[in-house]
Chain A
Amino acid sequence: MELEKGNRVIDFTDINMAGLFGEGVNNAIEGLSQMAGREVKVVSMDIKKVPVKDIPDLFGGAEALIIAIYVEIFGKTNGHMVVVYKPEVAFGLVDLLLDQAAGSTTELNDMESSTLGEVGNIMGSFFLNYLSDTTGQRLKPSPPAVMMDMAGAVLDSTLANILAYSDETYIVDTVFGTKDRQVSGTFMIIPNPSLEAS
């Protein structure tokens, strides 16, 4: 079902998708709360449909350093979930989760990677549980990969799979945190058409 609005076609299935992703991300943050053993709340959430080509620009350009947590999604549909942070924000998240003073973490070593990997695990499974419950499809996350590299490089293989079929995708900008600290991150959930997965 489609409706013309101006010269742009709005697809209602898309609107449902946006809602679904939003709730899924909410659920993922709830998971983070359990991991931290403290209340972590979503402060704000903004779901946007953006041109795929512009995504690296959202993080300071294709060459800017970012930290990404990547989880592959398996099930009836394959896909990717990527959570992207600017390095200093990811370090802040590590501090928050390990209950360290803000500013303690300054680089990505084994400990930090594994903490962020756990974030991916928790968020991935909470997000997918929500999606599975809602859609009735069984979806499972892969183990997480944590990367720090150029934004373009980290994202292009993921984006490549959407670019084959669509020039736009959803991103969910969130700010979440405890009473005293906040972290902003961007989620991208990329369903992969079965054609590419075959």
Chain B
Amino acid sequence: MAIVFSETAAPERELHLVGMGEIVVTDSPNAELSCIGLGSCVAVCAYDVREKIGGMAHIVLPQYNGLPGSNRAKFADTAVPMLIDEMLKKGGVKSRLIIKIAGGAQMTIAPGLRDTFKTGERNLEQIMSVLRRENITPAAADTGGSVGRTVRMYVKTGRVTVKTAYGMPQEL
């Protein structure tokens, strides 16, 4: 379950923290969706401009492992179709969806350290392959590198921002 709370200072804002393996889709105009501190994880943001529906998936791993009780929203190959489905259920139209992705960094970099898992890279590959299958080209992406990112989406406007540990939020 995503945590939903309103800040007392700005009661009109409705903050949704999208945790690891969670998907949030909403048409509430005051909603702000955020994935905080993404490393190899990837935030996939979807927005329907006309209906002003926003959605965000916090993807952790590339492929669904099929284990009993496993949460499909954690995996790129199952979470991206789930996000699109949820958007359509809320009244969105697939051809209108604007998809933006951010994250997929490789945090552990050191001379001689081979990254066996390459989780970020594999997450991104899998997301891109699902989007290709769905005939969707991402409108914007800020991916890879070795920096952590915090991603926010403002549902009223569809604006998506990305912030790193030392930087200011930048529009995606």
> Are A and B part of the same complex?
yes
A interface residues (Cβ-Cβ under 8 A, vs B): 52-53, 56, 61-63, 65, 70, 72, 74, 78, 117, 142-161, 163-165, 195-197
Number of A-B contacts (CB under 8 A): 119
Contact yes or no, B41 A72, CB < 8 A: no
**Residues of chain B lying within 8 A (CB to CB) of residue A145:** 107-110, 113
Mark the stretch among B81-89, B92-100, B124-132, B142-150 that contacts chain A.
B142-150
A53-B19, A157-B107 provided; 5 other pairs, C-beta below 8 A?
A62-B37, A72-B116, A153-B107, A156-B41, A158-B108
30 A–B pairs (Cβ distance < 8 Å), ordered by A: A63-B165, A72-B114, A72-B115, A74-B116, A117-B110, A143-B110, A143-B111, A145-B108, A145-B109, A147-B108, A149-B39, A149-B148, A150-B37, A150-B39, A150-B148, A152-B148, A154-B39, A156-B37, A156-B39, A156-B41, A157-B41, A157-B108, A160-B20, A160-B40, A160-B60, A160-B117, A163-B20, A163-B60, A164-B67, A164-B70
The chain A residue with its CB closest to the CB of B40 is A157
Knowing A156-B20, A160-B41, A164-B74 touch, does A196 contact B117 (C-beta < 8 A)?
yes
Contact yes or no, B60 A156, CB < 8 A: yes
**Residues of chain A lying within 8 A (CB to CB) of residue B61:** 160-161, 163-164
Closest chain-A Cβ to B127's Cβ sits at a distance in Å of 14
Tell which of B65, B114, B120, B165 touches A142, judged by Cβ atoms closer than 8 Å.
B114
B interface residues (Cβ-Cβ under 8 A, vs A): 19-21, 36-41, 60-61, 65, 67, 70, 74, 105-117, 119-120, 147-150, 165
Contact yes or no, A163 B21, CB < 8 A: yes
Contact yes or no, A153 B108, CB < 8 A: no
Contact yes or no, A152 B39, CB < 8 A: yes
Knowing A142-B112, A160-B60 touch, does A152 contact B36 (C-beta < 8 A)?
yes
Contact yes or no, A157 B39, CB < 8 A: yes
**Residues of chain A lying within 8 A (CB to CB) of residue B149:** 153
**Residues of chain B lying within 8 A (CB to CB) of residue A156:** 20, 37-41, 60, 107
**Residues of chain B lying within 8 A (CB to CB) of residue A161:** 61, 117, 119
